[in-house]
Structure 1
Amino acid sequence: MQFDASHRYLLSCDRRRHRVALDPARYWKSARCPVCVLRIDRLRIRRGIKWLQGKAPRSGLTWNGRFRLVPADGIAMLFAVVTLILTLVLHTVADAWWPATILLFLGRWPWLLMAVPAVLLTVVAGQRRPMLIAVPAFVIGLTGIMEFSFGLGRLAASTESEAPMRIITFNMNGDAAGPLLTGLVRGWEPDIIAIQECGGNTHQSLLDLPRYNADIGITCLLTRYPIMSIDSMRRENFAAAGGAALVKRYRLKGPRGEFDFTNVHLDTPRRAFEALMHGDADATVTITGKTAVRDLESRLARRWVNAGRGPRIVAGDFNMPTESAIFRAHWSSLTNGFSHVGVGFGATRLAGWIRLRIDHVLVDEAWVVKTARVLPDYGSDHLPVMVEVERKVR
């Protein structure tokens, strides 16, 4: 392995009238044209581009006289390696290994602080090889780290079924969204709205909404369809271990027959992370223990969903992104509405600079997802998710 040692570095003066050979030892120093005395590349931009391309002093590495690696290659490769490692960690051991669990619930935006400059530098270099590395890595990171959805499922969506059923799930954060909640219902006119952290001060206003059947409690449900039965999962199954899940299954009578709709609010790992932030010596043990409880909750909740007769729709605040090992183990066999047809990042949880998609609408094979979107802010620390589905014609 040896350094490339070219001896002529030509640049034009600022008026591009003369080409000047720069001394390699003074390549980055201020320089003037000896003919017109104008500055040469005052901001060093052209010299920087040549450095990226391997056309500057000490800017290229050559192996065996054949393969030459230039700075743009190195930037693209480093970016690709970091992106692939982060993606693999998030999609394999997040919520199974505590450091990856912390990464799972951190904001994903810092990745862009690396991604955007890396891609811009490789594009500016204008060389094919680094762009062929950096651009695919950017797409992988955009979808695998940032949770961006292209909504490709829309291309395969069938139209041979009934009119769409509009579903909204919304964690209203107690009474925080109370004044705006009825506006959400009247404005979007959902056929079903599943509410978590249903504030007590809004109960009566929900009951007063016309044309809706209501089940009111810590979680609430409003639906235009008749409610045939209501079954709640016993919290004693996991409450002793510190779990706090709420799971309620409804049997609804829709236009094409009865179906199960389950409203879920699963436990959050927030307190375990707060212990880590406060310097608790046992914080990592707390995170691992809370992860085990959350896994138990999801296992029992999915068993409860499956105990119904179907077809099945599950909606609510799952308190976990889709990359979670817990989510993949217990919920990935259902179609995620936004992941399937939504376009964009789809973040639903607002916590400062942290944005995560932890509220989901899931359906089984009896349904076709037509549209999915995240609605505007209605005063909570969560954003509502709206999904339109159609029941398949048998």
Structure 2
Amino acid sequence: MTQTELKTTESTSIIPHSLLQFELLLAPAIPMLAILILGLLGTLHMQTNLFIISFVSCAIAVFYMERMIISHVQKTNEEQLTHIEAICVEFLSGHKEARIPVVAEDNTKSLATTLNILLDSYQTGFEKSYLAPQEEINQLSGQLRQLAYELSPIMDGNLTVRSTITAGSPGIIAKLCNGLIEDLAALVQWTQYMAEQIIQTSHSLLDTSEEWAHITEQLTQRIVTVTEAVEKIVTCLQRIDSTLQSSVELAQETQTYIQEEQDQSLPADGAPAIEEPTLVGQIKHNMEQQIRLLETMLEDIHETSDMAEPMMAELYSFAQQFQQANAIVITAAKVISDQAITADEWRQSAQAFSVPDNEDMAEYAPIEEAERDDEMTIQRPKEQLINKN
């Protein structure tokens, strides 16, 4: 129903309602008028019994009539409200065609009519809202299926696909998905480039570490060799020192013996000594020079031994430091080798994706496959360094 029909229904329901009000106002007025007439007649004829009987009869009649009117109104309203409640429950349970029967002639009739109008409006709006979006739902479902079909190659690692949907909410979702795919492709390219750089740098570091480990090992061997030679020289000098010490003692004993023989050859009366033979004097002179020379050599040997012992300690310390440095280099080489292996795994994972050509990544100029195969010798330097250790 329209608003005009609703107003017409409301205007027609005013007439019975006005009659009911008129009846309720007229019901007390009639017995009052009858009582007034009977009172006048009673005062004229002085019939008191008739007045009392008439008054009581009118009062009972008025009370009975008003009670019947009120009972009728209540019964009608209760019946109408019962119909309204039953229809509302039935409508909520799913029976959308149920309508309220109009049985009253007062305001409940207007209420029932208004509720019927609301139910009709709701049913009409529900049908429109159910049927109208069905086409939109079908269109949305088709767009979502198209979106899933266009982006399904991503599951196989193909990052060159793009969605062509532009309309509606699926278009916004497709735009976001395209942006995410582009970002993912750029991330894959960047990962591949960084993996290549890490692999190249790791190879350079591994080569340098290998050379340094080789040089350190050679220096350590040379230091050990020199230290052993110095130790042998010190031992030899100590032996020479012992020999020279024995020679000095022997020369001193010889000199003492010659001096004693010379003293015994003097005359007993104290006459002047005969001049020594030239040979004995020459021997004595040579013995003194030899003793002085041996003492000088002993001092030089002692000084050399004192200098050689700290030098040996320093050489041993240098050898230990070189060995520690070599161990550190080998450990660093192992870490670099592990990083290179990890970077190679990243590179292989990135190569599993198909990415579009990007001019922004052209400046990085990734190496060729042949060069990559020649340079991918990560395990060899690592095994060599481990074996050297």
Higher CA-based Rg = 2
**TM above 0.5, one fold?**
no
More helix by share: 2
Return the structure number with greater relative CO, CA threshold 8 A, min gap 6. 2
More strand by share: 1
TM-score normalised according to structure 2 size: 0.14
